[in-house]
Amino acid sequence: MKIVKKSAFKPEKHDCVVIPMFKGTNGADFWREFPELEFPARRKKMKGEIGEALACHSLERQRLYLLVGAGRPGSLPDARRLACRVMALLRENRVATALAYFTAPGPYPASYLDTLADYLHLNNYSFDRYKKKKSKFVERIQLVFKQRGAQGGGELRKRAVVLEEVQRVRDLVNEIPATVTPDAMAEAFAASARQHGLKLATWRRKELEKNGMNGLLAVGASSCCEPALLTLRYAPQGARRTVALVGKGITFDAGGLNLKPGNSMEEMKSDMAGAAVVLGVLNAAARLALPVQVTGLAALAENLPGRRAYKPGDVITYANGKTVEIANTDAEGRLVLADALIMAARGKPDMIIELSTLTGAIVTALGDSYAGLFCRSKKLSAALLQAAEASGELLWEMPLPAEYRESIVSKVADLKNANYQGASSIKAGLFLNEFTGKVPFAHIDIAGTAFLGKPNFCLAHEGATGFGVRLLVEFLKNLR
């Protein structure tokens, strides 16, 4: 879909005209320009609240008019919900090209336009690769602001790059686990490296053994596809800051010998979302030529039961000398991430940001609209929280209290990977924190936000969300 900004209101070439109606704005302006809408809008007592909508077909002009409640003028959270609603209406009505006409004077913050573009794009998506009946998408939306105000029409092209990467990540996470194996992920990383001239190091069984990457080897032991540790680097000239991004890439999480029960396995093709997001951010950073060095690490394995499977009671020795007792083979994410975090920290970056669909408990705590942020660096967490507000990929800060450390200590090894008895998201964060040395570290638990069982208030499609790509691109853009 193409989104463009124009200054003149010329509805002729469009199937549909969308008119956002802001709260507290004077209807009289509308009615002068769109007299046909006055009567039905008054009868519906429209006030401009989010959720209100009026569809009206003009026979005379052969065009659909949509009057849509737009909430508070200039509010980004309202812009997200407005865009979601507009896109649902356009798709319901099988509209191909639309013009959205903002009559209210604003002021609109600079990011209002980006936010609209983001959520229009995000809601013009379905995963229908395996369906005979394909969905219809909106092809083009033109945004017109009556009073000049919302800046940055040129920014829309840059935004389209980010949104293309978000879409690629969503497709990759929605794709089936028969296709998306560690081999396929390695191939996807290799394709990006070729396309954008990035440096890629691919470690498979042989290199993992040589380098003591024993978490990946244990978790991946029973799969017919070897585990992998990928390191993809974007290193522009003159970059002053270096960031390492680490992603959990369990391409399917059956739980291992501690097999997942009942329905809990159904969505576990999405357990590689962290690694997919890392790939998307690297692509976006390269395509936007961001002035930061970014190293993306993906820890890839399939967690399956089988003859060679690792077992509860096993002890893994890590490359940094720490030992971990396996209490539960379903707590596999932290085991593969430990390897990747050791490698990331060895590169001495300015910071490490790690994303993982790590714990079911974070879904219980925060649901599907906030990811858990665990970070002991005030500066890093503040910057991430700011990027979250700006992008709409929301974070909620959780503690990493030293007082809880004793519950991750094992009787037979230095640490254990599970049986923590309460606060399991926090203790999983404490576990990861053991492998990052002195580098400022943020762990983002995206178990609730990466993949939706059903639509939420601003995403109308279930399945993969690409959560983290827009957040981290925003973070990298603002990095000083």
Residue 168: closest CA among 127, 197, 209, 203: 127
Region at 94 (left for phi over 0; alpha for psi -120 to 50; beta for the rest): left
Regarding 332 and contact with ligand BES (CB under 6 A), the answer is: yes
Out of 274, 333, 349, 463, point to the residue binding ligand BES (CB under 6 A): 333
As a whole number of angstroms, the distance between CA 219 and CA 335 comes to 8
> For 425, what's the count of Cα atoms within 13 Å in the CB-facing half-sphere?
26
Interatomic CA distance for residues 109 and 104, integer angstroms: 13
Residues in contact with ligand BES, counted by CB under 6 A, come to a total of 16
Catalytic annotation on 13? no
Q: Is residue 360 a contact point for ligand BES (CB under 6 A)?
A: yes
> Does residue 333 interact with Zn ion by CB under 5 A?
yes
Q: Tokens representing 222? A: 């029973």
Residues with Cβ within 8 Å of residue 376, at least 6 apart in sequence: 400, 433, 440, 441
Minimal distance, residue 254 CB to Mn ion, in Å: 8
Alpha carbon distances (Å) from 370 to 137, 157, 393, 444, 447: 28, 28, 7, 10, 10
Rounded CA-CA distance 117/111 in Å is 10
Q: Pattern 102-131, binding to ligand BES, x per CB under 6 A?
A: ------------------------------
Which among 140-148, 209-217, 226-234, 331-339 is the span making contact with ligand BES, rule CB under 6 A? 331-339
- Interface of this chain with Mn ion, residues 249 to 288, rule: CB under 5 A: 253
The contacts of residue 239 (CB under 8 Å, 6+ apart) are 291, 292, 293
Distances (CA, A) of 37 to 44, 50, 156: 11, 18, 31
Q: Report in angstroms how near the CB of residue 367 gets to ligand BES at its nearest.
A: 12
Main-chain phi, psi angles of 418, to 5 degrees: -160, -165
Residue type, 293: Q
Asked whether position 253 contacts Zn ion by CB under 5 A, the answer is yes
| Residues in 242-281 that interact with ligand BES by CB under 6 A | 253, 271
**Residue 301 binds which of Zn ion, Mn ion, ligand BES, none (CB < 5-8 A, kind-dependent):** none
> Minimum distance from CB of 232 to ligand BES (Å)?
23
CB of 397 to Mn ion, least distance (A): 24
- Selected from 267, 330, 354, 393, the binder of Mn ion by CB under 5 A is 330
Measured between alpha carbons, how far is residue 468 from residues 167, 181, 340, 351 in Å?
Answer: 12, 21, 18, 17
Site size toward Zn ion (CB under 5 A) is 4
Nearer to Mn ion, 253 or 445 (CB): 253
List 205, 260, 287, 322, catalytic entry: 260
**Partner that binds at residue 361, options Mn ion, ligand BES, Zn ion, none, CB closer than 5 to 8 Å by kind:** ligand BES
Q: Is 357 a residue that touches ligand BES (CB under 6 A)? A: yes
433-452 residues near ligand BES, rule: CB under 6 A: 447
Does residue 334 carry a catalytic annotation?
yes
Nearer to Mn ion, 83 or 304 (CB): 304
Place of tokens 């509010």: 75
> How do beta strands 415-416 and 394-398 pair?
unpaired
Per-residue mark of binding to ligand BES, 387-426 (x: CB under 6 A): -------------------------------x-----x--
Catalytic residue from among 81, 159, 170, 334: 334
Q: Does 331 bind ligand BES (CB under 6 A)?
A: yes
Residue 309 tokens read as 């499977």
Q: According to CB under 6 A, which residues from 361 to 380 bind ligand BES? A: 361, 363
Nearest to 340 by CA among 324, 318, 313, 323: 318
Given Mn ion, Zn ion, ligand BES, none, residue 328, with its beta carbon under 5 to 8 Å by kind, binds ligand BES
Span from 174-182, 234-242, 326-334, 377-385 in contact with Mn ion (CB under 5 A):
326-334
Start-to-end C-alpha separation, the chain: 33
Q: Which of 7, 52, 14, 30 lies closest to 141, judged by CA? A: 14
Binding mask 169-208 for ligand BES (x = CB under 6 A): ----------------------------------------
**8 is written with which tokens?**
């003149």
Binding interface with Zn ion (CB under 5 A): 250, 253, 271, 333
Binding interface with ligand BES (CB under 6 A): 253, 271, 328, 330-333, 357-361, 363, 418, 424, 447
Active site residues: 260, 334
Binding interface with Mn ion (CB under 5 A): 253, 330
